Structure 1
Amino acid sequence: MDFQPTEDQRDLRAGVRDLLAGRYGRDALRASVDAAQTGGCVDRALWRELGEAGFFALRLPEADGGVGLGLPEAALVFEEAGRALVPGPLVATHLAAGVVPGAAAGTTVVTAFDLGGGLVSHLAEADAVLGAPEVPSGTPVRSADPLTPLHRVASYPQAPASAHTAVGALLTAALQAGSAARTVELAVRYAGEREQFGQPIGAFQAVKHLCAQMLVRAEVARTAVYAAAVTADGTEIAAAKLLADEAAVGNARDCLQVHGGMGFTWEADVHLHLKRAWVRAEQWRTAAEAEELLAAELLGAAS
């Protein structure tokens, strides 16, 4: 079985990266952070552009107006969205394509009960909630990530529909893998620019080791995500989510370490990757849930 992206898949990934670089670069990211202080952070115009590009309808059959691709392609484009830190319920809207009117086209923002405990992200900006008859009211809850506003609702399903959980976990893992790769780039770039004692800090062994560890985490997570996207196996997806969560959180922390005090300032982007990684680690499938699934699979294989 070949887990390497094909030429068409690489072109798709490059196209999405170019789209997001032109439409949601650093200035747009910082504008979203500023806007989130007084209102929503979902850029409706960008949402529609993603819809027009087929981001949400990627896995819909062509007969239904979709692109007709599969999970491997979806993993690639979500990896790029994670790299760019695009805010909003991307996974839920993608899962709602073909089910909720306007989701595939990006004219409808759809969120989901994917956090547990009655927490819902982007509830105030959502037009629909996946699997719910209407958008419920909720109480705002302080979020670690300024670009992932949270609400707590009193009545909610215990979990998203099982048909969505695995795909939701895989696509969230792809977002995490993209963030992990991006923080490697940020750390390496800063290590080459910042000087101490007359030389770039990247020349020091301790910094080299941090960056190398980050690269290993990112590549292992990416490989696991790609493999799970090809097999669509529930156990593989659980492992990919676990590895991607660890890579996104661990790499963001190490990237902060490379940046030193600069990384903790509001002006830097590093802390945004860490805060988003914390929230995503709780979405669709937590580490504890993934570990339970993997343990059950191992016990079953051993019996």
Structure 2
Amino acid sequence: MDFSLTEDQRALRAGMRELMERRYPRAELRAVVDAVAAEGDGADGADGAVDRSVWRELGVAGFFALRLPEAAGGVGLGLPEAVLAFEEAGRALLPGPLAITQLAAGLSAVGLPVAGAAEGEAVVTGLDAADEVRASGGSGGVLVEHLASADVVLVLGDEDAEVRPAKEIMSTAEAIRSVDPATPLHRVRGRARGGSDGGARSSPGRGIAARLRREAALLTAAQQLGSAARTVEMAVAHAREREQFGRAIGTFQAVQHLCASMLVRAETARSVVYAAAVTEDPGDIAAATLLADEAAVRNARDCLQVHGGMGFTWEADVHLHLKRAWVRAEQWQTAAAAEEELATGLVSTGARCL
């Protein structure tokens, strides 16, 4: 099977990178981070709000409607193209519930219309109610990103999905400190699904939760891939510029080995993420999640090593990639869940071979 990008796909990726650099440059990222820092690291959960103007511009560019049919006002592309777009968003560390908003834009086909999602007029975040139950019998709660900025929440149960007003979910939410200053988090306990006391709610979407989880996991892995690739670029650029003992540190073998290992991780993850976008196989998506999470986290750590003490300072961007990678690694499909998915697939394959 050929996973090489077509000319149109390369053009899409280049266009998305240009959009991110123009609309969400480093200065914009730093402004968000510095604003959160000034308010005490976002401890109240109210900082790091989604920039509605950026959200709307993404909608105008077709980011959220990328997979909608042209007849429905979308771009008419598929999951591989969505992965390319999300890779660029991860590279830029664009904050917000991007994956869930894009998934919500396509829910009209299953009877769960979310007005404004495709156009970027609505911010949609997600809540995995089944994960809440599995984690601690429903008493420990589940983390939801950007809840204070969201208009609606896509709630996924064991099999079904429903759309709930964000204000309704906020009534059971507790703001918590997030390790990533640009990703505010709330913990939601109990009544995460069904049995609400008020607020309009759409009819549940039957049997679509598993597909939505898989796609959310893959789009999140694509963002991890973008971050992993970006930290490779940052490490190499610093190694070329930084000098010690009259030589660029990139000439030292230890630094070269770090950069080479980072590149191998990023490119290995890229091949698996791209393949999973084509096959949409649960096992392939699990493998993509594992490798992309590892690449994002370990590459950020190695990039810190290349930068030395400077990488740990607030002024550097390296630690922002590490913190975002930590948060994403806990979203939609954790390493443990991905390993279970792969193990189940292997057992099933072995049983068929007997």
TM-score over 0.5 for the pair: yes
| Residue of 227, 230, 247 corresponding to 2:275 | 227
Question: Following TM superposition, by how much is the alpha carbon of 1:165 offset from its aligned partner in structure 2, in angstroms?
Answer: 0.5
Is contact 2:48–2:181 with CA below 8 Å preserved after alignment? no
Which AA in structure 1 matches 2:32? S
User: Which residue does 1:86 correspond to in 2?
Assistant: 94
User: Which residue does 1:215 correspond to in 2?
Assistant: 263
User: Which residue does 2:152 correspond to in 1?
Assistant: 128
Aligned residues: 302
**TM-score where L is the length of structure 1:** 0.97
Matched, 1:35 2:61: no
**In 1, distance between residues paired with 2:164 and 2:146?**
17
Is contact 1:111–1:128 with CA below 8 Å preserved after alignment? yes
Matched, 1:141 2:148: no
| Residue of 132, 143, 164 corresponding to 1:119 | 143
Q: CA-to-partner distance for each residue in 1:25-74, whole Å, 9 max, x for gaps? A: 11011011123344333111111000001100100111111111000000
Is contact 2:49–2:148 with CA below 8 Å preserved after alignment? no
**TM-score where L is the length of structure 2:** 0.83
Matched, 1:105 2:136: no
User: Which residue does 2:224 correspond to in 1?
Assistant: 176
Q: Following superposition of structure 1 onto structure 2, how do residues 56-71 of structure 1 map, counting pairs within 5 Å?
A: 56-71=64-79
**In 1, distance between residues paired with 2:153 and 2:286?**
24
**In 1, distance between residues paired with 2:142 and 2:209?**
15
Question: Following TM superposition, by how much is the alpha carbon of 1:157 offset from its aligned partner in structure 2, in angstroms?
Answer: 4.4
Deviates more, 1:293-302 or 1:241-250: 293-302
Matched, 1:286 2:321: no
**In 1, distance between residues paired with 2:305 and 2:124?**
36
Identity over aligned pairs, percent:
68
**In 2, distance between residues paired with 1:74 and 1:31?**
27
| Residue of 173, 180, 186 corresponding to 1:151 | 186
| Residue of 322, 325, 332 corresponding to 1:274 | 322
Which AA in structure 2 matches 1:146? P
Please give the secondary structure, in 2, of the residue aligned with 1:129: strand
Q: Following superposition of structure 1 onto structure 2, how do residues 251-266 of structure 1 map, counting pairs within 5 Å?
A: 251-266=299-314
Question: Following TM superposition, by how much is the alpha carbon of 1:198 offset from its aligned partner in structure 2, in angstroms?
Answer: 0.6
Which AA in structure 1 matches 2:98? L
Deviates more, 1:26-35 or 1:211-220: 26-35
User: Which residue does 1:237 correspond to in 2?
Assistant: 285
Q: CA-to-partner distance for each residue in 1:220-252, whole Å, 9 max, x for gaps? A: 001111000011111101100110000000000
Deviates more, 1:92-101 or 1:102-111: 92-101
Is contact 2:48–2:183 with CA below 8 Å preserved after alignment? no
Deviates more, 1:135-144 or 1:177-186: 135-144
Please give the secondary structure, in 2, of the residue aligned with 1:60: coil
**In 2, distance between residues paired with 1:34 and 1:103?**
29
Which AA in structure 1 matches 2:126? A
Which AA in structure 1 matches 2:69? P
**In 2, distance between residues paired with 1:148 and 1:203?**
37
- Structure 1 residue runs of 5 or longer lacking an equivalent are none
**In 2, distance between residues paired with 1:249 and 1:81?**
17
Q: CA-to-partner distance for each residue in 1:110-149, whole Å, 9 max, x for gaps? A: 1001575421110111111013422111111111100110
**In 1, distance between residues paired with 2:116 and 2:340?**
36
Question: Following TM superposition, by how much is the alpha carbon of 1:202 offset from its aligned partner in structure 2, in angstroms?
Answer: 0.6
**In 2, distance between residues paired with 1:43 and 1:24?**
10
Q: CA-to-partner distance for each residue in 1:13-36, whole Å, 9 max, x for gaps? A: 000000111111110110111233
